[in-house]
Structure 1
Amino acid sequence: MAALPRSISTLLFSFREHHIQNLAIEKDRIGCHLIFDAAAGGGSIGRQGRRPSNWGRVIEMKLKIKFMLLAGLAVPAAFGVASTAMAASEAAGAELETSTGDIIVTGEKKETTLQKAPLAITALSNEALQQSNITQLIDMNGFVPGLTVANSGSFVRVVSIRGIGYEASDNLSAEPGTSFHIDGVYVVSPYALQQDFLDLQRVEVLRGPQGTVFGQSATGGIINAITTKPDTGSTSGSMQLELGNYDLFRSTATLNVPVSDTLAVRGTVQRYYHEGFARQTSLGPNYGRYGLDDADRVSGKISLLWTPNDRFSAQITAQYFNADEHGAAQKNLDDPDPNPRRISQDYPNKYKLDFFLAYADLRYDFGAATLKSLTSYQTTRNHNQIDVDRLDYASTGEYDAQPYWNNSVDAFSQEFNLTSNGDGPLSYIVGAYFLYQKLGQDILEYRGTDAVPSYDLTLPLTFANYPYNLDYALNSRQSRYSYAAFAQGTYKLSDRLSATVGLRFNHDNFKSRNSTLFDIFAPPVQARTREDAVTGKGEIDFEITPANMVYASISRGYKPGGVSNNSTPLLVPLTYNSEHVWAYELGAKNRFAGGRATFNAAAFFYDYKNLQYQEEDPIPYQGGVSNVPKTRIWGAEAEATVDLTDHLRLDGNVTYLDGELVGDYITLDPSRAHAATLAAAALGYGPFDAYTIGLRALQTRNTKGNLPPKLPKWQGTIGATHTLELGGLGTLRSHAELIYRGKFQYRIFNDGARDVVPGYTQVNANVVFMPQDTRWTIGLTVTNIFDKAGIASRYSNPFGSFTTSDMYIPPRQAIASVKYEF
């Protein structure tokens, strides 16, 4: 088996793990480029039966990155060196709240307050993330209106906002509809969305198309994780240890060191481990208790801030994440074991992820405006070993296994923008953006009926050495170049009335080369797409009082098209079209009772064109991505907080969503096509016989009137926080919350019960004690108190055995923590 190419080289230095979490953040000023790769080491904390490979990591840094960064660094750096005035030291944690208690957010790349931002935006503070045990994206379900995070298979996160997400996640070239950012840097790889949050100040979620300032792949909205920057003012840090059931262990250490009045370094490291929430039961005794939904991770981050004067700042950041686990628990709907935490699989699942991100945020303040350069480099390496049929040989009399499904993503981006300063009637941002992506995917799949299979492969592959059970192999190499220019301005028409207009031009150039079964049956398929798109925004807002605002907006979002991994289809196109959405929104931001209560609400209507999704073809192995011509989505959402007393706060959110696929559209469901293939086989026909292809073609259905996927009709959260002063002992803060997520259709096909993901309710609680006059904090968090086996998502595999599986929310967890800050 040929190894995947890895362009990692040069400088090595050793990195000792600890833990990375708890960084706060101010603005989004960061940057530089590094690349980490893991090397095996020793260890003391790992899953049963083996030692983990998480200690003594080796970090590799590409020297060539400095050349890629040079263009982004040179211009602003020149301004910084030329200036002579010395800057006053900046505080590391930017103020999360104003003097009136309003949260400061970055929003559309300009700082404002949450209540003054005329768009639907939610900000979750680091404290809120910790008290609800939100450690990664999938934990955010229920906490943000309209947000649904689900798994697609075992290694891809599908993030949907108001029903717009990632329905073609099985195709390497397809891009998500909701983009994830770290300090404003677009995280290109959908596989990297499995990473843990690290050293965050807050997470901002912008709902609705963000096609002007954030560009393509933000048709649903964006999630921006904002980290804490270094502080030149004082030495500080923290150490936190968390222990819980399932042998949970998480340790986090953060240290901030001011090297001088103008230079500071901040670093965080985190180690996270717990046993699997579910168990793979049909393996041999040598595997012991083989847990799924386990965690075996290490994260690290280091950031350097230089402020040589009061006009120029440079922040360089590098971040690394590694997971070496058994992977997600996917319960086949036909599993004979009724226990949702027991999986009857007999081929050992494995999951590995290495993600590295480095970026440089350089700024120069001209007085009237600030020039910013944001340069980034990132790399993702993902390895998966999968039991595709999700069952054992005893249940099916056959096997379907993938010894590897490997994904690689490398990307470089550069953005320049100029943002106005001051409180004049006109504020603006103008900029230019470039993104390069290099994508790779290698899949090997074996199927058969022998009880003791072998998984042998000799390259080069010929008909003479063709393995008896080799079912499928894919080697795909793709690249994408994207260019954009954008401008957005807001003008105060009066003291209370403002209008915003924005426009962005996007150019996308994509090409691919796909080899199936090592080109033994046919030559590789090469394809290319080029397209231009214009997106934009118009918005008007009116301040009824200083505490009450209403706004109305219209915006256009865009997601580029691409190439399917097929060669001779009858129904599925070789290339698929870009997505476009027109979004119309009315909203209100309100404060009442002198700021003790807030109420924000929005109603919206989306007119969606060319929704991308995974379709099957009448000819086996020729499925790919197609477009639903027209979809409409509408809904309403609200968020509120109320301080009933100085010690008791209530908060909550609720979302209503609905929609439909409009007009006649004929498509072929992969699951129904597979059922037809099995029916033909029972009559003695092969998969490529004319009878089988014709029977598969008869399974097409009209999607007119179907519900769009990932669209729960109702979802929301209600919570209460109480603070109790215990005299001279300290402060006790308690928090409880109830989360409800309604049922939804998982796919566009609406194929009866198969596609309906049931709703669930979850209750969490958290207690924190802060002893008086100490630096210690002691906490206890219990999630899923009633141990509900709620179904987080469902996945119908469009390949292989075409199985349908459920993925469950984590069971009840009790986590005790102790933290020391200095």
Structure 2
Amino acid sequence: MRAAASVMALAQLVPAVAHAEDAGAAGAEAPSASTQLETITVTAQKTKTGLQKTPIAITAMSGDQLAKIDIRSAIDLDRHIPGMTVSDSGAFPVNITIRGVGYDGLQNLSAQPGVAYVENGVYIASPIAVVSSYLDVGQLEVLRGPQGTVNGQNADGGAINVTTNMPKLDAFHMGVEGSYGSYNYQRENGMVNLPLTKNLAFRATVQHEAHDGWYYAPNYPGNDHIGSQNAWTARGTFLWTPTDRLTVTVWGELYSNDINGVGARNMIDPIAGVRATSNDYATPEQTRSRIAAATAAYDLGGATAKFSTSYQYAFINNRNSADSLSTAQALEYYGVKDNIPEHSWGLNTVNEEFNVASKPGGRFDWIVGLFYQHTSGNENVFETQQGSSLIGTPYTIDYSAAGNPALYLAQQAAYGLSFASVSNAHRNSAAGYGQLTWHITDKLRLTGGLRYSWDKYTAHTAANFNIADLKSEFRKVTGKASVEYDVAPHSTLYASFSTGVKPGGANLNTSSTQIPQSFTHEFVRAYEIGSKNEFFDRKLRLNVSAFYNDYRNYQTDSEDPLPYQGGQTNIPKSKVYGLETEVSLILPQGWRIDANATAMGSRVDSHMHMLDAYSAQAINRATGGPYGTGNVDARYAAYFASDVYGNQLGRVPNFSTAMTISKSTDLPFGKLDAAVDANYRSPYWERVYNNPATDRVGSQFMMNLNLHFQPKRGPWYLELQVTNLTDSSDIATRFAENFGVGGVFDVYVPPRQVIGRVGVKF
């Protein structure tokens, strides 16, 4: 039963969530760290409010708390946040899903994530940038439920709000840290805070993180282990306060990561071992992100005016094996060796936002604002499928075949060209929003907000035989209404209705017959009731929320009956519902428990024909390949025979829980902080097709250990961290390729790592 008994023991305890506990972290104020829970301030509404008086389901964690449970980037949030799954899909962007809404169009440049990502108040447009390391973080907030009023571009799933530590004007601060562990894991980082004048300070942080690969790949060119990473993150921030009323913040961030090969395994790969692949095609990947941003806030007296602007660049380029098998096995299973020598995305974004918000303490709290964003991007895809007669035939990457039928067919015959596409796209988004909270009495509050959003996406695309100009556009009003009532000084009930939208986009299917060339926006109506409580002189925090989300035009992937014409489509009606609980508990003698639990369900409520790429490619192989009469007829028959009505949505586990047990012990020569965290997630469907052979992801259980020693004298500290304490070999993500040969790939949780760390702060 593996760790089932441990899981059930954890589930019997009051479920809870890890909260910020560092008194120096953004928004955290600890009256007595050992006897009372900290007061947490969040910025979920673009103004500072108390966590317990904000009518939204929010998880907040400090930078110290992130380190204790080994959260180094957004990927590591998986299984730690109620209602959230994070899928690492190898060669494609990370898919963050909250309450059933995520980012199903991983292979589509125009598709947008359903979870907004915000750093220091700036909306981060590219999902590529989300994977950057959490460096020098003050506080992280995860907002669950649609953020269709004041946050980002608009989002129907939720938002991740990261606040990094700002420069301090009062004194010089510095810190350095070094780590080494299993699989040649290395992490070195440093921070310096420099007061330049009484009104100007600069803070710089830099980090290098690397490890060897833990996927065994005996056939891989030049290396028998893949998945190694070499990442650099750097951030510089200026804080300037020229007057008592004006505060200016300017910051820039760089992220770079090089991977020597995609750590994923085709589920049909016969090679022995869990983290093993027979792939013999080199699959290096480069990810780059650059952000430059500035924010100016001016005190108007009873309100604060704030303007922010940013430029963002994101790029990803990878060579990918669409089968992840050895050449011999690929020919045996698929009839071809399917390689992608180039798949690149490049995105340039400029966004600007202006808002005016009242100061807290009055009868009315309000905010009004404007948001604008322009993104231009390009996507290039080049793919070959070489049968036994063409294996090893040399070629050059030549995109002139895209949109040129004669040249495409000639190169297909010469060396097996199977897909060539060049897409240049632009997206413009604009919005105006406002929100008002009325303090009717000291105990009763009403909140209402509206947002008008306009979004237009255009793309000039050359794909295989055709050239097309594609467009997707919408105008939508979203918003929220909520009521809160304090039934006791530290107990609040709330009920809310909110809406949110995820923009639509365009596919690369210039001659499709059933799947639209442009897919429409996704929309949600969300109903939530909740209770936020603190008991026993603030030793116990218990937050509970129940939600029902009614989705329209849910975005997901489907193949078209005509080969190579699949893409994003919309399911008219679906729903997700659930119950989330969060608890933090202070116990005697330095003990503390933080944990969470979520129960969810989902269902497709519309009859909808869809064709799974895995099934479509099986038809292609059985009927001698695409475009033959028998092939197309069989694909049409399979498409119209399918119906996803009644299926569960992807990445909605029925149950998940996580718990951190920590203890702070004063020793004669210092202080020892120990933390053990464990998390469990029930099996779930990765996609809406609910195919037991390809979509079922099994249960997952993970444990981590962290020991932190701080001596009484001296600024140094020691740390020991053990991740995946039980050496679990669970599947973290099962990713089904939408194109190529329709392969299905498993990404496993990282193996156990033992990491030692030493640092100095002063």
TM-score, with structure 2 as normaliser: 0.93
| Aligned twin of 1:695 | 634
Q: Which of 336, 345, 348 does residue 407 from structure 1 map onto?
A: 345
**What is the alpha-carbon distance in structure 2 between the residues aligned to residue 114 and residue 458 of structure 1?**
55
**Secondary structure of the structure 2 residue equivalent to 1:108:** coil
| Aligned twin of 1:328 | 262
**What is the alpha-carbon distance in structure 2 between the residues aligned to residue 562 and residue 451 of structure 1?**
36
Listed as ranges, the matches of 1:677-692 within 5 Å are: 677-681=620-624, 686-692=625-631
Listed as ranges, the matches of 1:41-120 within 5 Å are: 94=26, 96-97=28-29, 99=31, 101-120=38-57
Which segment drifts farther, 167-176 or 298-307? 167-176
Letter in 2 for 1:225: V
| Aligned twin of 1:441 | 379
CA contact (8 A) 1:734 1:767 kept: yes
Listed as ranges, the matches of 1:435-474 within 5 Å are: 435-448=373-386, 449=388, 450-457=390-397, 460-461=400-401, 463=407, 467-474=414-421
| Aligned twin of 1:126 | 63
| Aligned twin of 2:282 | 348
Letter in 1 for 2:202: V
Listed as ranges, the matches of 1:560-579 within 5 Å are: 560-579=503-522
| Aligned twin of 1:479 | 426
How many Å apart are 1:157 and its aligned residue?
0.4
| Aligned twin of 1:19 | none
| Aligned twin of 2:748 | 808
Change (3 A) 1:307 1:402: same
| Aligned twin of 2:652 | 711
**What is the alpha-carbon distance in structure 2 between the residues aligned to residue 460 and residue 172 of structure 1?**
20
How many Å apart are 1:147 and its aligned residue?
1.0
1:27-55, Cα deviation, whole Å (9 max, x unpaired): xxxxxxxxxxxxxxxxxxxxxxxxxxxxx
**Secondary structure of the structure 2 residue equivalent to 1:139:** helix
Letter in 1 for 2:215: A
| Aligned twin of 2:13 | none
CA contact (8 A) 2:217 2:276 kept: yes
Identity of aligned residues (%): 33
Q: Which of 345, 361, 369 does residue 295 from structure 2 map onto?
A: 361
| Aligned twin of 2:158 | 221
CA contact (8 A) 1:371 1:418 kept: yes
Which segment drifts farther, 740-749 or 314-323? 740-749
Letter in 2 for 1:144: I
Listed as ranges, the matches of 1:391-402 within 5 Å are: 391-397=325-331, 398-402=336-340
| Aligned twin of 2:122 | 185
**Secondary structure of the structure 2 residue equivalent to 1:296:** strand
CA contact (8 A) 1:572 1:615 kept: yes
| Aligned twin of 2:613 | 670
CA contact (8 A) 1:555 1:582 kept: yes
**What is the alpha-carbon distance in structure 2 between the residues aligned to residue 338 and residue 761 of structure 1?**
23
CA contact (8 A) 1:427 1:490 kept: yes
Letter in 2 for 1:754: T
| Aligned twin of 1:756 | 696
| Aligned twin of 1:492 | 439
1:772 counterpart = 2:712: yes
**Secondary structure of the structure 1 residue equivalent to 2:351:** strand
CA contact (8 A) 1:179 1:223 kept: yes
| Aligned twin of 1:39 | none
**What is the alpha-carbon distance in structure 2 between the residues aligned to residue 491 and residue 431 of structure 1?**
18
Listed as ranges, the matches of 1:455-604 within 5 Å are: 455-457=395-397, 460-461=400-401, 463=407, 467-517=414-464, 521-522=465-466, 524-604=467-547
**What is the alpha-carbon distance in structure 1 between the residues aligned to residue 543 and residue 25 of structure 2?**
26
Letter in 2 for 1:485: G
Letter in 2 for 1:713: N
Which segment drifts farther, 466-475 or 305-314? 466-475
1:657-707, Cα deviation, whole Å (9 max, x unpaired): 1010003111111111111111111xxxx4112221110111121111000
| Aligned twin of 2:604 | 661
How many Å apart are 1:338 and its aligned residue?
3.1
Q: Which of 209, 223, 234 does residue 288 from structure 1 map onto?
A: 223
**Secondary structure of the structure 2 residue equivalent to 1:232:** coil
Q: Which of 176, 184, 190 does residue 239 from structure 1 map onto?
A: 176
Listed as ranges, the matches of 1:731-750 within 5 Å are: 731-750=671-690
**What is the alpha-carbon distance in structure 2 between the residues aligned to residue 374 and residue 526 of structure 1?**
33
TM-score, with structure 1 as normaliser: 0.86
Change (3 A) 1:458 1:126: closer
Q: Please, which runs of 5 or more residues in structure 1 have no aligned partner?
A: 1-23, 27-90
Change (3 A) 1:650 1:129: same
Listed as ranges, the matches of 1:201-216 within 5 Å are: 201-214=138-151, 216=153
How many Å apart are 1:465 and its aligned residue?
6.3
How many Å apart are 1:745 and its aligned residue?
0.6
| Aligned twin of 1:35 | none
Letter in 2 for 1:596: K
Which segment drifts farther, 397-406 or 443-452? 443-452
Change (3 A) 1:677 1:217: farther
How many Å apart are 1:328 and its aligned residue?
3.1
**What is the alpha-carbon distance in structure 1 between the residues aligned to residue 445 and residue 51 of structure 2?**
17
1:298-333, Cα deviation, whole Å (9 max, x unpaired): 111000000011100100000000011124311101
**Secondary structure of the structure 2 residue equivalent to 1:748:** coil
The aligned length equals 723
**What is the alpha-carbon distance in structure 1 between the residues aligned to residue 155 and residue 589 of structure 2?**
39
**What is the alpha-carbon distance in structure 2 between the residues aligned to residue 246 and residue 541 of structure 1?**
51
**What is the alpha-carbon distance in structure 2 between the residues aligned to residue 548 and residue 413 of structure 1?**
39
1:275 counterpart = 2:207: no
CA contact (8 A) 1:511 1:526 kept: yes
| Aligned twin of 1:154 | 91
**What is the alpha-carbon distance in structure 1 between the residues aligned to residue 294 and residue 66 of structure 2?**
26
**Secondary structure of the structure 1 residue equivalent to 2:134:** coil
CA contact (8 A) 1:583 1:606 kept: yes
Letter in 2 for 1:413: N
How many Å apart are 1:92 and its aligned residue?
8.9
Change (3 A) 1:227 1:249: same
CA contact (8 A) 1:298 1:322 kept: yes
**What is the alpha-carbon distance in structure 1 between the residues aligned to residue 123 and residue 65 of structure 2?**
24
CA contact (8 A) 1:278 1:342 kept: yes
How many Å apart are 1:230 and its aligned residue?
0.5
Letter in 2 for 1:712: P
**What is the alpha-carbon distance in structure 2 between the residues aligned to residue 160 and residue 325 of structure 1?**
24
How many Å apart are 1:801 and its aligned residue?
1.1
1:300 counterpart = 2:234: yes
1:397-449, Cα deviation, whole Å (9 max, x unpaired): 34111111000011000000000014111000100000001121001111112
**What is the alpha-carbon distance in structure 2 between the residues aligned to residue 430 and residue 25 of structure 1?**
32
Change (3 A) 1:501 1:456: same
1:380-408, Cα deviation, whole Å (9 max, x unpaired): 11110111111001223341111110000
**What is the alpha-carbon distance in structure 2 between the residues aligned to residue 92 and residue 434 of structure 1?**
34
CA contact (8 A) 2:283 2:320 kept: yes
CA contact (8 A) 1:216 1:560 kept: no
